[in-house]
């Protein structure tokens, strides 16, 4: 924490207050009831968390990626599921701000920043997950319109969100044939599958987005034809940092709860917190989190600076922080003994929420591919 600027420390303090007051007390019940607290998300937006990276002229906070990882780590101490959805919502806002024209920014960004309208990111399909360039959703050009047909899978916020950044094929197979579009929930032909029954992330909906001949005007396209895959991957660089930061926050909460639990429990005539074996376990958890945090913040710095290695660093950070976060949360459950397995303590929820972070925004196996490609590209 000592490496943060004064502004970031103040940002963390405000965000932590919100997480502890508005998220943490309800996190378990939201998970159990599968409740998506849109009203609370809008309260977060009142603090500027609906448009973290969006320019101030459209109601955003114009924060850097280095600021953003502080925000999302801190939010996730209250509820990783809601913090992660906010990260995705902010990825959508950033993509429109970065790649949209003036009219598109004016049309969608103010409502996204206030969370009057929520955003979803639509890349994955039933048959195209890790191999995103193989997506089959099509956008057929018809005069001044496009007609979109296809199915997007595992879409966070689907149904509740009003704005969808959709990747669809306008050209030949491969990444160069993909374009990006903004689809609205009320566009004729848009429908949604049932809410998926999931291991974790139950406080946010995950559904298919079905596009059945959705006819939209040409001004819904983001960027030029064929730019969609580049836009999608650019969005994911920041999205991976957001998910990595959420893993850190969830795991830090689990570690903090473990310290309190062990301090209040006795076995064999002594506090569990005084057992050296358990102290060593806690020390390792804290050390691994600190290392992961340092890597996430270095990747955020590189992305802010536009450094060429930034995508590779983002992949490294996502892989390392999400693996570490899950491992630390699982260790915290073990330290709680049988209590960790009970839903009312909230530890098992953190474990379930953090497990999916190793899969989404690119699986950790794909992160290894990205890192290895960067290491070997000059040797081909």
Separation of alpha carbons 247 and 1, rounded Å: 16
Residues 6+ apart with CB under 8 A from 25: none
Separation of alpha carbons 193 and 47, rounded Å: 32
Residue 338 has what DSSP assignment?
A: G
Separation of alpha carbons 132 and 129, rounded Å: 6
Active site residue 361: yes
Separation of alpha carbons 86 and 211, rounded Å: 24
Instruction: Record the tokens describing residue 119, joined without a space.
Output: 């955003």
Buried-state track 209-231, b at ≥16 Cβ within 10 A, e below 16: bbbeebebeeebbbbebbbbbbb
Q: Is 186 helix (H, G, I), strand (E, B) or coil?
A: coil
Question: Is residue 313 packed enough to be buried (19+ CB in 10 Å), middle (13-18) or exposed (0-12)?
Answer: buried
Looking up tokens 């039933």, which residue turns up? 126
The answer to whether the CB of 94 falls within 8 A of the CB of 235 is yes
Q: Is 317 left (phi over 0), alpha (psi -120 to 50) or beta?
A: alpha
Separation of alpha carbons 5 and 11, rounded Å: 10
Dihedral sign computed on CA atoms, order 306, 222, 244, 29: positive
Q: Are strands 206-217 and 266-267 parallel, antiparallel or unpaired?
A: unpaired
Q: Which of 288, 361, 365, 377 is catalytic?
A: 361
Catalytic machinery residues: 361
């Amino acid at each position: 924490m000592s490496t943060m600027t004064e502004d970031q420390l103040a940002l963390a303090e405000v965000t932590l207050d919100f997480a502890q007051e508005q998220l943490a007390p309800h996190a378990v019940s939201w998970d159990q009831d599968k409740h998506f607290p849109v009203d609370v998300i809008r309260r977060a937006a009142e603090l500027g968390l609906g448009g973290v990276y969006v320019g101030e002229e459209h109601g955003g906070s114009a924060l850097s990626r280095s600021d953003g990882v502080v925000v999302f780590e801190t939010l996730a101490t209250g509820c990783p599921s809601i913090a992660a959805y906010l990260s995705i919502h902010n990825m959508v806002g950033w993509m429109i701000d970065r790649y949209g024209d003036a009219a598109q920014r004016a049309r969608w960004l103010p409502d996204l920043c206030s969370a009057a309208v929520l955003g979803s990111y639509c890349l994955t399909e039933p048959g195209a997950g890790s191999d995103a360039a193989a997506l089959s959703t099509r956008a057929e050009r018809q005069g001044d319109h496009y007609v979109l047909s296809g199915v997007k899978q595992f879409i966070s916020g689907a149904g509740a969100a009003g704005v969808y950044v959709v990747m669809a094929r306008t050209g030949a197979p491969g990444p160069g044939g993909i374009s990006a579009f903004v689809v609205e929930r009320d566009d004729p032909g848009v429908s949604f599958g049932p809410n998926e029954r999931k291991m974790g992330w139950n406080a946010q909906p995950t559904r298919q987005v079905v596009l059945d001949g959705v006819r939209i005007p040409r001004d819904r396209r983001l960027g030029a034809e064929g730019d969609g895959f580049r836009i999608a991957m650019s969005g994911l660089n920041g999205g991976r940092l957001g998910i990595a930061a959420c893993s850190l926050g969830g795991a830090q909460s689990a570690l903090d709860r473990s310290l309190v639990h062990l301090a209040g429990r006795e076995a064999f005539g002594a506090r569990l917190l005084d057992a050296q074996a358990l102290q060593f376990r806690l020390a390792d958890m804290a050390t691994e989190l600190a290392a992961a945090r340092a890597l996430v913040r270095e990747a955020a710095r590189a992305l802010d600076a536009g450094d060429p290695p930034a995508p590779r660093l983002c992949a490294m950070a996502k892989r390392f922080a999400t693996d570490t976060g899950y491992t630390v949360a699982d260790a915290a459950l073990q330290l709680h003994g049988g209590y960790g397995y009970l839903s009312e303590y909230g530890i098992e929820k953190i474990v379930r929420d953090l497990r999916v972070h190793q899969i989404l925004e690119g699986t950790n196996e794909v992160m290894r591919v990205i890192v290895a490609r960067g290491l070997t590209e000059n040797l081909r």
